[in-house]
Structure 1
């Protein structure tokens, strides 16, 4: 088939540092252009990577076979609906939306248009962590698990490079919560019960019961003290205790996500991290938010 033309929606730090460089250097696609809510930033980003800037987002959709999104979730969801209606396959950021209703509308739009989708859950596409997850998925007899992600974006000593108003307002539940669920659900099964409680700062503690009968917990924060930050995923069961190996951010993950979208387009086989999985993650996070509000 012809090379896929993939455009980019977004001009912020993630678009600049991650998405645009990956699209520009990928050998199997054509980077078809950039659109952003800040035209000058879009022009600068497009020029840096030798592609076109589009003043209208629908022009970008018309010039593309697929679109990658690097914008806040409440901006992403309605724009991705329009992209799907225009026949564009979707490379989405997590969370796909911050309400189940918006997530369902997007999933329905993708289904109606018969477009492929991949949601960029970083740990699912980084080679070390995805390989570890595959090993755990091949086993059964799980008893419990935990996924703790303590970040320090919003502390005086924290790294604010990738901070944003939506992250500050929605907190760790919505920013790093999707990463935690993306590692727990494939091994332990869907969440049949959800409980949640607040900790210090924006910290949220989740307790999940899974359809397999196993349980899990997740501690999620963007306001932990810098010396208390870290990421841990641990699974316990009949075969022992298994801890995810250390992960360091790199460019490989977004390239692998692009490869996954290409595979889904060419084979017609949905990716495990498609919009339906992204919607389920949003539904669970919304349930957790409701539990917290009720206490």
Structure 2
């Protein structure tokens, strides 16, 4: 690509400030061109900080960019992403893809029909450490199962204390769940069944998944646990031992730069398939729905 990809950000919340806007502005292959948010003053502040334009409507943003990065609640993304895809815009999509499987299916249909590139913000999948971990799993031989913990206090205070969709009873599952479920799924193969799902009164989820091939995994998940630092770790077990994945060594903004690298390759090579594309998002949406049914 001879010129930087013009990208517009929709939303002006914490993640847009912390990752999307600075990441797009800093990347050599992209330019943050426009920002639109339902709170115009927030859009103006974010745009001004990065030399972009705050626009007055979603339609105006689409007219001024080549791609759109979403930093909005799932229901809003489900409404707007199909319109952006049908307008021929490439997409950076938040997780979960939508607020229900029907909304996710509509996004997949629009993206597939338009032939645009689209990637999910499954941040840790773009972490070199995670990529090395996944690539090394064949050394374990026949895989037998996996465990995961994602225990943090992100909903107790700070940036997300006022985030209505995260603060609902299922907020931890909807917010952190796609990341954790995706890692277990990528390690063992597609989740085909939810064997057990329980959310305690304190917001702690305990989940057991059945994967293709008959392996199982377990996940403990909470964003209301006052632990410092957060406990985020995974382990896969096989006939030759165990492969742990502990902590996070790569910052989210560096993972975002890797995501943008991938998006630009997809656009240049006119590729629509990717392990973190919209079909992945639809699969995860269906797993979330199955968890809620099983609870």
TM-score band by shorter chain is: over 0.9
How many Å separate the matches in 1 of 2:174 and 2:21?
24
CA distances 1:79-136 after superposition (whole Å, capped 9, x unpaired): 1111101101110111111200100011111111111110011111122223222322
How many Å separate the matches in 1 of 2:292 and 2:138?
28
How many Å separate the matches in 2 of 1:254 and 1:91?
10
Is 1:255 equivalent to 2:257 in the alignment?
A: yes
- The residue number in structure 1 matching 2:172 is 172
Is 1:161 equivalent to 2:159 in the alignment?
A: yes
- The residue number in structure 1 matching 2:287 is 284
Is 1:273 equivalent to 2:265 in the alignment?
A: no
179-188 or 109-118: which moved more? 179-188
CA distances 1:128-172 after superposition (whole Å, capped 9, x unpaired): 2232223226765110001210111234xxx42234111111321
How many Å separate the matches in 1 of 2:263 and 2:230?
32
Q: Secondary structure at 1:152's aligned position in 2?
A: coil
Contact between 2:160 and 2:166, CA under 8 Å: does it hold in 1?
Answer: no
How many Å separate the matches in 2 of 1:117 and 1:256?
14
How many Å separate the matches in 2 of 1:87 and 1:201?
44
Deviation at 1:43, TM superposition (A): 1.0
Deviation at 1:233, TM superposition (A): 0.8
Q: TM-score, normalised by structure 1?
A: 0.93
How many Å separate the matches in 1 of 2:73 and 2:14?
12
Q: Secondary structure at 1:76's aligned position in 2?
A: helix
Q: Secondary structure at 2:153's aligned position in 1?
A: coil
How many Å separate the matches in 1 of 2:67 and 2:139?
32
RMSD: 1.7
How many Å separate the matches in 1 of 2:154 and 2:269?
39
4+ long deviations beyond 6 Å: none
**1:19-168 alignment to 2 at 5 Å?**
19-136=20-137, 140-155=141-156, 159-163=157-161, 164-168=163-167
Q: Secondary structure at 2:51's aligned position in 1?
A: coil
For this pair of structures, how many residues does the alignment match?
Answer: 289
Contact between 1:172 and 1:221, CA under 8 Å: does it hold in 2?
Answer: yes
Unaligned runs of 5+ in 1: none
How many Å separate the matches in 1 of 2:137 and 2:120?
21
Deviation at 1:268, TM superposition (A): 2.9
Contact between 1:128 and 1:245, CA under 8 Å: does it hold in 2?
Answer: no
How many Å separate the matches in 2 of 1:137 and 1:74?
38
CA distances 1:35-87 after superposition (whole Å, capped 9, x unpaired): 11111111111111001111111111121111111111111111111110110
How many Å separate the matches in 1 of 2:197 and 2:63?
43
6-15 or 190-199: which moved more? 190-199
Unaligned runs of 5+ in 2: none
